[in-house]
Structure 1
Amino acid sequence: MVTRITGMASGLDVDSLVKQLMKAKQATLDNMVRKRTKLEWQQEDYRTMAAKIVDFRNNKVSNYNLSTAINAKSTTVSGDQSAVTVNSTSSSASGSLNVKVESVAEFATKVFTFAGANDTTELGDLLESDGTNVTVTINGEPITLSKTSKLSDLATAINAKSGTTKSTALYKDGQLSISATQTGVGANTVDSNGNTVKTGTLDIQMIDVNSIGINGVEAAKGGQAKVIINGITYESDSNKFSVNGYTFTVNAKTATGSSTTLTATRDVDKIVETVKSFISDYNSLISAVNSELSEQKYYKYNPLTSDEKEGMTDDEIKLWQDKARSGTLQNDSTLKKMISDFRFEMTSLVAGIKDANGQSISIGITTGSYSEQGKLYLDESKLRTALESNPDEVVNLFSGQSSGSSSGLFSKVLDTTMEALKSLQTKAGTSLYSTDLNTTLLANSLLSTQISEMKKQEDFEQERLNNAETQYYKMFTAMETAINRYNSQSSSISSMLG
C-alpha cells in the first residue's frame, strides 16, 4: 500500500478527487468480477447438485439393485434346528429341503506321550539334536529350538507359527497334542510311533531319541462332514459349504430319527421396504432438481462489491446475495434431460407387469399430477399382492439384467445418472463419485476454463487501473509543485516590494 501525502499546497483532498476519477474506470473491473462471481456460484451449485446425484446413485440405487435387497429370500427352519444352520441368498431355490447330518468335519489331531517326561525335561533328552538345537517340521515348516527348551516351549513355538504350519499345539504333563487348523480327511493316515506322522491335513516330522522313545497315541483322524439333502449325499472337508444357493453350517450330528426341514421363500417385507425406500429417495432427488430448474432469476440483483457492502447490515447483505445467486441452474439442459429420462423410465413401473395370460397387473406405483413433476406414489397393498402372485416378474421389473430397453429399472437409473454426472463433469468439473462439497473441481472443464480466463482479464484490468491511479497522483503532484513554486515566487516579490 503506497502512502501519499498530497494537497498541502493546494488545500485539495487529492485522495477523494482521485477516488472519484477512478470510480468510472473501476466500473469495468467491478462488472468483470460480478460476472466471474456468478460463474463461480454456478459451478459451486453444480457441485452441490452432482453430490446429490452421486449419493442417490452410489449410496442408494446401487444398494437397492443388490440381489439381497430387491430379491431377498427368507428361510424358516423346523425339526432338528441344532444340527445345521442355513443362510439363503437371492439365488436360493424357493421350496423345501430335508437335511440330515451324518457326520461333522473334524480336525486331525495327534497326541504324543514322551515316556518319563515332565515339565522340566529338556527337548534334547527327548528328540534328536544337532548338539545345540532340536528341529521339528510341521507341514513343511521347520521349528528350531535350543535343546535345553521344554515341551511347553515347543507348544508355544508351534502356536506362534500356526499361520504357516496350519496347526496348533497343547502341552500337559509330558503329553504334546498337535492339531490341524483345517478340518477334513487329507492323507488320513497315522504312524503310531513317529518319525513321520500324517493325520488328515497334518504332516509331522519328529526324530526321536532311541533311549527315550515316543509313544504315539492313535490320533483322532480328520474327518469330512457328511450331509444328506433331499436324499442326495454331500461330503465336505469343511463344516461350511454351499448347495443350490444355500450356505450350510454343520453344527452336530442329527438326532436319531430326526431331520431338519428348510423352507425358502421370497422376503416380501424386505422387497417392499426396498421399493418404498427407492421411491422416497427418487422423489427427494427430483424435487431438489426441479427446484433448481424452476428457481427464479433476479436480474436486477448482482453480486455486491466490497464498496457496495459498506453501510449494509449482515442480514441485508445475505438477502441481497441470495437473490443475486438465485436461478444459477435454471433450465439447465443436463438436469432437464435427466428428469426427462427418469420420467420415461418410470413408465415401466406405472405400466406394471403381465401375468401368464398376458393381462396387465398393477404393482401399485403411480405418478402424481403434472404440477408434481414426476413424483411417484406407492400403494403398498397392491405391490404385496403382485409380489405374492408374480414375484419373478416384479423383481425383474426392477433388477432385470438384460441390455437395452428390457433391462431393469435400477440399471436404467444407474445409466441415466452416470450420463448426467459425466455431462456435469465436462461442464463444471464436478466429481463422478464423490459427495464431498469441498472436492477439487477439474481445471479443464468449461466453467473452470472460463473462470481462469476471466481472472487473467481482471488482473490485466487491475494493472491498467493501478497505472491510471498512479498517473492521476502524478498530475496532482505536478500541480502541487507548480503551486509551491508560484507561492515561493509570490513571497519573494512581496518581500522585495517591502
Structure 2
Amino acid sequence: MRISGLATGMDTEQIIKDMMTANRIPLNKINQKKQYLEWQVDDYRAVNRKLFDFSQNAFNNMILSKNFNHKTVSVSMPDHVAVKNISSTSDFSGTLEVHQLAKNATLQGKSIVKDGTTDEKYTLDEMNTLKLSDLGVESEDGFVTLKITAPGSEEGNEIKVSVNDSVGAVIAKINQDTKVTAFYDEFTGKIALTAKNSGEGTISIEDADGGNLAEKLQLTGEGVQVEEGKNADFTYNGLRTQRSSNTFQINGFEMSLKQVTSPLDADGNVIDGERKVISFNSSPDTEKIFENVVKFIDEYNTLIEDLNKQIREQKYRSFPPLSAEQKKEMTEKEIELWEEKAKSGTLRNDSEISSMLTQMRTALTGSIKLPGMGENESISLKDIGITGSKNYLDHGKLIIDEDKLKKAISEDPNKIHQLFSYDAGDNAKKTEHGFARQLRTIVDATQKTIQKRAGKVGDVNDTFTLGKNLDDMNKQIERFEERLKMTEDRLWRQFTAMERAIQRANAQSASLMNAFGGGGY
C-alpha cells in the first residue's frame, strides 16, 4: 500500500495514473491490432467453412450420379406391384405376373395353463414375472438351452437362459438373438413365433441340452401348428422365377409385390383361367433433376454474393477495437454499434478470395467437350439455359431459363449430369472437366491457401501465418507490460524521493525558524 502527498499535498497516485495512461497508448494500439487480427482469423475460417460446404454439396449433389437418376415409373396395376428406381442410369420397362406372394414361416404353440386347471391361462403380466422353475423347467446346473431354426438361419440359433428367468425374459431373448419374433397371447395362452425372413422353410424348436424348456412352453409335440414359409413366385418379361422376399431388385430398380395377379396350379395353369399381366415403364423425372440443378446454382449464387460482399466491405479506420476501459464507459448498444463498424472490412480486397471468384466466373463461361461429341462440338451452360447476369452489381450470378433447362433435361438427362460431373482424367486440363468438378477444384485450392494463412479450429498459432503474427504480438505485449511496470516503479520512486526531499526541507525550515526566534511571543 502506497501513501503519498503527505509533504506536498499532491495527489501523487492520480498524477502517476494519468502519466501511465499516456504511456499505455502504444500498448493499447498493439492490443487493438491483435483484436482485429483475431477477428480476421475468425472471418477467414468462416469463409473456409462455407467453401467446404459448397465443395461437399457440389460433390454429393452434382457429381454423384444418384441425384440424376430420378425417374418417374408408371405401373398399369399399382395396387398389385410398386416399382421404383434405385440405381439404374437408363430407362427401363417390362411385364410382370405375380403367381404367389412370399410368406413368413410361423409356429403356434399349445395353450399354457395353470397347474390343476384345464383352461385357466396366465395373464401377460403373470408371464413377465413367472419363473421357468415355477413352470416346471428343470436343470442340474440351473441353465437350459433352446435351439431355434428358421429361414435365414438353417443351422439354428441357440439361447441359454436360467431356470430363474421369467417367461417374458425368454421371449425377449428369442426376439433379440434368433431369426424369429415371438409373443405371448394371453387370450389363447399360446406363444406364437414368426420368421423374420420370408421364403421357403419352417420354424423348428428343440432343447439343445436335453432339458424340457420347449416342452413346458408348449412349443413341441402334437398340437403345435407349423406353417411353412413360401417364396414369391412371379414371371418377369416371360421368365418365371422366385425370390425369398416380396421386395427385391432387378437391373437397378426395386419391385415390391403386393397382390397375386395370376395364381397357378401345380401344372402351371392359371387357376381362374384369366391371365393378368402388369406392365411398367420409366422416364426421367425432369422435375427432380431440375430442382437439383437449381439448388446447385442457388448455392453458387449465395456463395459468391456473400464473398463479394466481404471483399468489398467498407473498412472504418476511425473505429478501432474497444479496450476494456472504453467498454466500461459505454452501454451494450453503443458497444454493439461500435464493434459492428470495427469488425467491418477484415477481408476487404483479399487477393485469394478475389482470384477464386474470378476463376469461378471464368470457368462457368467456358464450354466442355463430352464423350460422343464431334471434333468441333462442345456444350456450355448457356446451351441449357443458364447464363450470367447482365447486371454488373450481381458480380457473376447465374440466371436460369427454366423452360430451356427443363427441355434440355428431358431430352438427355445424362448429358446434363456429365456437363457438371464429367471427369476428363488426371492428365486433362482443368477446363476439360465438368463445371461442378472445375468449381470444386478451384474452391478446394483456395481452402488450402486460406488454411495456411488462418488455420482451422484447434490449430496452434505457430502452424499458420496469422497465428505466428498473433504470437509476435503477444510477445510485444509482454515486453511492453514489463516496461510499463518498470516505468511505474520508477515514477513512484521519483515522487517518493521528491516527497522526502520536501519533507526534509520543511523540517530544516522549521528548525531555522525556531533558532531565529520564529517561535516568539
What corresponds to 1:435 in structure 2?
none
* 1:261 equivalent in alignment to 2:304: no
What corresponds to 2:228 in structure 1?
221
The CA deviation at 1:366 is 0.6
Please give the secondary structure, in 1, of the residue aligned with 2:506.
helix
Equivalent residue runs for 1:229-268 within 5 Å? 229-255=236-262, 256-268=274-286
Residue type of the alignment partner of 2:247: K
| Distance of aligned partners of 1:259 and 1:127 in 2 relative to their CA distance in 1, 3 Å threshold | farther
Aligned partners of 1:428 and 1:442 also within 8 Å: no
Residue type of the alignment partner of 2:79: S
Residue type of the alignment partner of 1:296: Q
Please give the secondary structure, in 1, of the residue aligned with 2:495.
helix
The CA deviation at 1:108 is 2.1
Residue of 492, 507, 519 corresponding to 1:488 = 507
Deviates more, 1:246-255 or 1:277-286: 246-255
Q: Deviations over 1:39-58 (max 9, x none)?
A: 11211221232233234334
Q: Deviations over 1:99-157 (max 9, x none)?
A: 222222222234555899755799999999557876542224145575x99xxx76872
Residue type of the alignment partner of 2:99: E
Deviates more, 1:289-298 or 1:306-315: 306-315
What corresponds to 1:194 in structure 2?
none
What corresponds to 2:267 in structure 1?
none
| Distance of aligned partners of 1:46 and 1:359 in 2 relative to their CA distance in 1, 3 Å threshold | closer
Q: Deviations over 1:438-472 (max 9, x none)?
A: xx565322212211221121011111111111111
State the distance in 1 between where 2:145 and 2:29 align: 85
State the distance in 1 between where 2:120 and 2:183 align: 13
Q: Deviations over 1:169-226 (max 9, x none)?
A: 46675866543221122xx4xxxxxxxxxx2xx342257999x992266732222112
Residue type of the alignment partner of 1:389: E
* 1:382 equivalent in alignment to 2:404: yes
Residue type of the alignment partner of 1:265: S
Q: Deviations over 1:350-399 (max 9, x none)?
A: x7989977485810011123453211111011101111222221121123
Aligned partners of 1:100 and 1:260 also within 8 Å: yes
State the distance in 1 between where 2:171 and 2:335 align: 74
Residue of 65, 76, 79 corresponding to 1:78 = 76
Deviates more, 1:17-26 or 1:304-313: 304-313
The CA deviation at 1:68 is 4.2
What corresponds to 2:438 in structure 1?
412
Equivalent residue runs for 1:291-370 within 5 Å? 291-299=309-317, 301-305=319-323, 321-348=339-366, 358=377, 362-369=383-390, 370=392
Residue type of the alignment partner of 1:205: E
State the distance in 2 between where 1:118 and 1:135 align: 28
* Alignment RMSD: 3.9
| Distance of aligned partners of 1:239 and 1:155 in 2 relative to their CA distance in 1, 3 Å threshold | farther
The CA deviation at 1:265 is 1.4
State the distance in 2 between where 1:123 and 1:13 align: 93
Q: Deviations over 1:29-74 (max 9, x none)?
A: 2232232222112112212322332343345763454544344222
| Distance of aligned partners of 1:205 and 1:301 in 2 relative to their CA distance in 1, 3 Å threshold | closer
Aligned partners of 1:396 and 1:408 also within 8 Å: yes
Residue type of the alignment partner of 2:196: T
| Distance of aligned partners of 1:402 and 1:258 in 2 relative to their CA distance in 1, 3 Å threshold | farther
The CA deviation at 1:163 is 2.6
Residue of 249, 257, 280 corresponding to 2:298 = 280
State the distance in 1 between where 2:198 and 2:328 align: 80
The CA deviation at 1:164 is 1.7
| Distance of aligned partners of 1:466 and 1:391 in 2 relative to their CA distance in 1, 3 Å threshold | same
Residue type of the alignment partner of 2:158: E
Q: Deviations over 1:234-293 (max 9, x none)?
A: 422222211111112222322552233222111111111122222222111101111222
| Distance of aligned partners of 1:418 and 1:94 in 2 relative to their CA distance in 1, 3 Å threshold | same
State the distance in 1 between where 2:95 and 2:514 align: 131
Residue of 119, 130, 137 corresponding to 2:147 = 137
Give ranges in structure 2 of 5+ residues lacking alignment: 123-130, 149-155, 263-273
Please give the secondary structure, in 1, of the residue aligned with 2:492.
helix
What corresponds to 2:486 in structure 1?
467
What corresponds to 2:125 in structure 1?
none
Aligned partners of 1:73 and 1:92 also within 8 Å: no
| Distance of aligned partners of 1:355 and 1:114 in 2 relative to their CA distance in 1, 3 Å threshold | closer
The CA deviation at 1:233 is 3.3
What corresponds to 1:428 in structure 2?
454
| Distance of aligned partners of 1:145 and 1:473 in 2 relative to their CA distance in 1, 3 Å threshold | closer
TM normalised by structure 2 equals: 0.77
What corresponds to 1:196 in structure 2?
none
What corresponds to 1:195 in structure 2?
none
Aligned partners of 1:93 and 1:245 also within 8 Å: no
The number of residue pairs the alignment matches comes to 467
Please give the secondary structure, in 2, of the residue aligned with 1:33.
helix
Residue type of the alignment partner of 2:314: Q
What corresponds to 2:417 in structure 1?
395
Residue type of the alignment partner of 1:252: Q
Residue type of the alignment partner of 2:194: S
| Distance of aligned partners of 1:334 and 1:486 in 2 relative to their CA distance in 1, 3 Å threshold | same
What corresponds to 2:205 in structure 1?
204
What corresponds to 1:449 in structure 2?
468
| Distance of aligned partners of 1:274 and 1:11 in 2 relative to their CA distance in 1, 3 Å threshold | same
What corresponds to 1:184 in structure 2?
199
The CA deviation at 1:484 is 0.8
Residue type of the alignment partner of 2:436: F
Aligned partners of 2:159 and 2:177 also within 8 Å: no
| Distance of aligned partners of 1:331 and 1:218 in 2 relative to their CA distance in 1, 3 Å threshold | same
Aligned partners of 2:121 and 2:189 also within 8 Å: no
Residue type of the alignment partner of 1:453: D
Please give the secondary structure, in 2, of the residue aligned with 1:374.
coil
Q: Deviations over 1:295-328 (max 9, x none)?
A: 3334455334456678777766656544444322
The CA deviation at 1:497 is 2.0
Aligned partners of 2:68 and 2:414 also within 8 Å: no
What corresponds to 1:434 in structure 2?
none
The CA deviation at 1:23 is 4.7
